[in-house]
A and B are shown apart, each in its own frame.
Chain A
Amino acid sequence: MLRSIINRLLGMIVVMAIVVTIVFVIVRVTPGDPAAVMLGPEATAADIAALRTKLGLDGSILEQFGHYVLGVVQGDFGQSIFLNQPVTEALAQRAEPTFFLTIFSLLIATVIALPVGILSAYWRGSIFDQAATTVAMFAASVPSFWLGLLLMQFFAVKLGWFNTSGYGGPGASLSERLNHLVLPALALGLVSSALITRFTRASMLDVLNDDYVRTARSKGMSEWRVVLKHAFKNALIPILTVLGLTAALLISGAVVTETVFGLPGVGNLVVSAVLRRDYPVIQGALLVIAGLYVLVNFGIDMLYLLVDPRVRY
C-alpha cells in the first residue's frame, strides 16, 4: 500500500515537470503579443517593442524559462501583465465561484445520474430504460453553453427568476452570489449527468448477473439490498473514475459556461488570459488545473485501493 502511494507520488512529480515545460513552450510559440493587446489598435511597432522590454519578454526563451521554473519552484507564478496583481492572488480570487459551481454541478449530476443509471440497468429494456438512454444520449450531445443559453432565456429572461450573468455586485452576500450559480450549475450538471448515467448503467449491467449477486438473492435478501449493497458497491470503481474526471473537468473552470454566464471563475480567467496573451496567468492557471487533475487522479487511485484491496500500482 505504502509503496503504491510513493510510486504514484513520484509519477505525479514527473507529470507536473512535463506539464510545466509543455505549457511554457505552447504559450510562447502561440502567435500574439500581450504588449500589442495592452497598447491597443493605434500602437506603433516601436511602442510595442518598448513595452515588451519592460515586461521582460525580450529575453531568450531559455532565459525566460529558467526564470519561470525558478519562480514556480518557489511558489511564485509571476505577476499578471494586465491585472496588476500576482497570479496566485488572481487565481485565489477566482476560486470561489469555480469551487461552488463544481460542487453544485456535481451534486446535480450525481443526484440525477446514479438513481437513473441504477434503475435503467435494473429495468433493462423497459420503457424507463429506453427513455433514460434516449434523454442521456441527447443531453450528452448538447453543448453546455447552448443549454445554458436556453436556461437563461427561460428562467432569466422569460420568468425573471435569475440574473442572466455575473456574480453579484459590490457587497453581494454569499447567498446572492450563489444565486448566480443556479443556471450555470444546472447547465453543467445536466450535461455531466448524461455521461455518469451511461457509465452507471453499463457498470451495473456488468455486475447484476454476477455470481455473488445471484448468491445474495438466493440468501433471501431484499431486492433493493442486493442491488444497492452488493451490486452497486462493486460497480463503483468505473463510476468513481468518471465522477473524478468530471469533477476535475469542472474544477478546471468549465471554461465556456463560465464565459457565457460571465462568472469570474478560473475558466473565465483562463479565457481572458489567452485572448490577452497574459502569459503568467495562462501558465499559472494551466499549471494549477493540471495539478488538480493529477491530484484528483491520485485521489481516485487511493479510493480504488480502499474499494478493491487487490489493486496495486
Chain B
Amino acid sequence: MKHMTTIAISLAAMLLPATGVAWGQAKGGVIDVATIGEPPTLDPMASTADLVGIVTQHIYETLYTFDKDWGVTPLLAADMPQISADGKTYTIALRTGIKFHDGSDMNSTDVVASLQRWMKVATRGKQTAETVTAIEAVDDNTIKITLNKPFAPLLSLLSLNNAAAIIIPSEVAAQDPLTSFVGTGPYMLKERKPDQFIQLARFDGYKSRDGEANGYGGARKQYLDEIRFVPVPDPNTRIEGAVSGQFAYVDSLPVESFDKISGGKTAPVMLKPFGWPVFFMNTKEGLNSDIKIRKAIQAALAPKDMMLAAFGSEEFFSIDGAMYPQGYKWHSETGTEPYKPEGDTEAATALLKEAGYDGSKPLRILTSRQYEFHYKLAQVAAEYLKAAGFKVQMDVVEWATLTKNRTDPALWDIYITHSPFLPEPSLTGFMSDTAPGWWVSDKKREVLGAFNAESDPAKRIALWPAVQQAVYDEVPAFKVGNFNALAAQAPNLKGVTPAPWPYFWNAYLEAK
C-alpha cells in the first residue's frame, strides 16, 4: 500500500504540469539521462531496439506519431491522410516551413526518398513494401502512397519510433549505413562519444505543432538546452546513480529496487503496466508443431506463480490473459478462458496423452539471463511442465546467442521474450508469418486479413477480438501477464510523462 501511495504521488506530481498548469517552465538547463547501454546505431530505420528509438526520437521525426491514447496523430504530416474509398491510396499533405538540422527545408522529395529508404532498410519497412505499389510526390508538399491491397497498419507503421519511417534529407537518404544524423526533431546531435555520452542540443530552427502536447504528438516544447544520454549498463550502478541523484532521469531499473530508490534523491516512476512477457512457440518444427502439445503447454503453465517468481511482488505485475490490458482500446476478454492463473495440470496431462507424447523427446526452452525475469519465468514454467508430464530441457544462453538461435526452427520449441504493448496489435511479433515461431494458418489468415484490411478505426476494434480468439485457439504464443517498468526522476525535472519510450521534449527543470 505504501508503494501504491508513493506511485500515485509520484505520478500525480509528474502529470500536474502536463495538465495545463504552466508554472516554472523556464527555458534552459541540461539533463543527464542514464540508459541501459550504448545504442547499437543512431539510425532508427536500421534497428527495432527500444534504446535506439528512445534516443533518436529526439533527433528525427516521422509523418505520424501516437497520442496519449495510442491513436495515430500527425507529426510532420499536416493532417490525417485522405484515404481513397477502396483503402488503397493515401494522400498525405506535409507541413510547410519544416527545417532539417542542416538548415535545408523539408519537401516531398525528401519524404519520398526517406520512405523508399525505409522500405529498403527497415524491418518494418520491408514488411510494408510488400503492400506498396508506389510512393510519389504529388507536389512540393504532398505525397501519395499507393497500395496493392488495403493495409490498415500502415499509419501505425509510419508512426513507430523503432525501425522507424523517419524523414531525412533526400541526399542523406542515399546513405546506408547512415553517417549524417540530420533530422527535423527538436534536438540535434551535437557529440557522440560511444559508451560515454550522446549529447543532444536544442535545434533552434525547430517548428513545433500548435496546440497542447498529447502523448508523443501535439506541441513539442524545447525547454531544455541539452539532453545527454549516458550509458550505464550495470543495473546496480544505475540504482546507485538514481539514489545519489547523479542523473535527472534513470531508465529501466529493476522493480525490486523500488524501496531503495524511494529513499534516495530521485523519485521512483512506475509505468503500470509496461508490457508483457511472452513464450513464443515454434509452430514450424519439433514438438510444438502439434497444436495439441501447444494446448497442453497452455494448460500446464501457471502465470501467477511464474510472475511472482519473476517480479517478486504483486505490486509490480498483474495476472491478465487479455493481450491488451484494461485502458487500451484493444482490450478484450474474448477467447481468454484457457488462461488459468493457477494452471491446470490435470487438463495438461490429458492433452499430452491425447497428443501421444511419451516423454522421450524434451521440450526445449530457449532463454537467457540478460533479463533475469525471463530466466525466472522459465524456471517456474519448467516445474509446471514437468508436473504435467513433459520432459523439459532448459537452453540458457546469452542474449546474442538467443537472437541468433531463435531464427533457426531446428533449435528450440519455446523461446522467451517480452514486449511493450504496441499501439498497433498487428505489429506484435507472432502476427508476422516470418517471425520466429512461424505461425501460419487458415484461421490466422482469415481473421488477421480482415483486421488489417479494415481502415475504419471503430470497425477494427470490433474485429480485434476474433484475432485474439485465434491466438488462444492455436497457441502461437503464451502471454504470461502484465508487468510494470520502473524508472527514477529528479524532483526538479518536470513535464516528463511516463511512457514505454521516455521522451524529454516538453521536459523542464524547475528552479530549486
Chain A residues engaging chain B, CB cutoff 8 angstroms: 30-34, 36-48, 82-84, 90, 93-94, 149, 152-153, 156-157, 160, 163-170, 259-262, 264, 268-269, 271-272, 275-277
Contact = CB atoms under 8 A, between A and B. Distances in A.
A153 B432 contact: no
Interface stretch (B60-68, B310-318, B397-405): B397-405
Given A36-B407, A93-B193, A46 B434 contact: yes
Nearest to A36: B403
B232 A165 contact: yes
Minimum-distance CB pairs A-B, first 8: A40-B48, A32-B400, A42-B48, A36-B403, A31-B401, A264-B195, A40-B49, A33-B404
Contacts of A163: 244, 246
Nearest to A275: B400
14 contacts: A31-B404, A37-B403, A38-B40, A38-B41, A40-B123, A41-B417, A82-B41, A149-B236, A149-B240, A157-B244, A166-B246, A170-B193, A269-B195, A275-B400
A32 B401 CA distance: 4
B41 A164 contact: no
Contact of B177 (A41, A84, A168): A84
Contact of B46 (A38, A42, A168, A276): A38
A156 B240 contact: yes
Specify which of A168, A170, A269 lies most central, judged by the most chain B CB atoms within 10 Å of its CB: A170
A44 B179 contact: no
Contacts of A44: 123, 126, 432, 434-435
B197 A41 contact: no
Contact of B241 (A83, A164, A268): A164
B320 interface: no
Contacts of A264: 193-196
B429 A164 contact: no
A32 B193 contact: no
Nearest to B177: A84
B474 interface: no
Contacts of B162: 40, 42
Contacts of A39: 46-48, 123
A111 B401 CA distance: 44
B449 interface: no
A260 B234 contact: yes
A16 B225 CA distance: 49
A262 B233 contact: yes
A271 B37 CA distance: 11
Specify which of A30, A43, A90, A260 lies most central, judged by the most chain B CB atoms within 10 Å of its CB: A43
B403 A259 contact: no
A264 B436 CA distance: 35
B243 A37 contact: no
B124 interface: yes
A156 B244 contact: yes
Interface in B219-245: 228, 230-234, 236-237, 240-241, 243-244
Contact of A157 (B37, B243, B399): B243
A262 B126 CA distance: 36
B123 A166 contact: no
Contacts of A34: 400
A260 B236 contact: yes
Contacts of B243: 157
Contacts of A30: 401
A23 B38 CA distance: 24
Contacts of A149: 236-237, 240
A262 B234 contact: yes
Contacts of B436: 45
B473 interface: no
Given A42-B124, A45-B407, A166 B230 contact: yes
A170 B228 contact: yes
B432 to A, nearest CB: 7
A34 B296 CA distance: 36
A32 B228 contact: no
B184 interface: no
B199 A169 contact: yes
A30 B237 CA distance: 28
B146 to A, nearest CB: 24
Contacts of A94: 195
A48 B407 contact: yes
Contact of A38 (B38, B47, B126): B47
A152 B237 contact: yes
Contacts of A170: 190-191, 193, 197, 199, 228
Nearest to A82: B40
Given A166-B230, A264-B194, A45 B434 contact: yes
B510 interface: no
Specify which of B32, B38, B417 lies most central, judged by the most chain A CB atoms within 10 Å of its CB: B38
Interface in B110-152: 123-124, 126
Contacts of B177: 84
Nearest to B178: A84
Interface string B235-278: 01100110110100000000000000000100000000000000
Specify which of B244, B397, B401, B404 lies most central, judged by the most chain A CB atoms within 10 Å of its CB: B244
Nearest to B417: A41
Interface in B182-205: 190-191, 193-197, 199
Given A259-B233, A262-B237, A272 B407 contact: no
A168 B41 CA distance: 22
Specify which of A33, A152, A153, A169 lies most central, judged by the most chain B CB atoms within 10 Å of its CB: A169
B228 A169 contact: yes
B404 A169 contact: no
A91 to B, nearest CB: 12
Given A31-B404, A42-B429, 16 more contacts: A32-B404, A34-B400, A38-B47, A40-B163, A41-B429, A44-B434, A44-B435, A46-B434, A149-B236, A149-B240, A152-B237, A152-B240, A156-B240, A262-B234, A268-B195, A277-B400
B106 interface: no
B52 interface: yes
Nearest to B419: A41
Nearest to A271: B233
Contacts of B48: 39-43
A165 B196 CA distance: 10
Contacts of A37: 40, 400, 403
Contact of A165 (B179, B241, B417, B434): B241
A269 B194 CA distance: 9
Contacts of A153: 240
Interface in B346-384: none
Nearest to A278: B40
Nearest to B264: A157
Contacts of B231: 262
Nearest to B236: A149
A180 to B, nearest CB: 10
B236 A36 contact: no
Nearest to B38: A272
Contacts of B404: 31-33, 36
B196 A36 contact: no
Interface in B1-41: 32, 37-38, 40-41
Nearest to A81: B40
Given A36-B407, A275-B400, A166 B196 contact: yes
A46 B229 CA distance: 32
Contacts of A275: 398-400
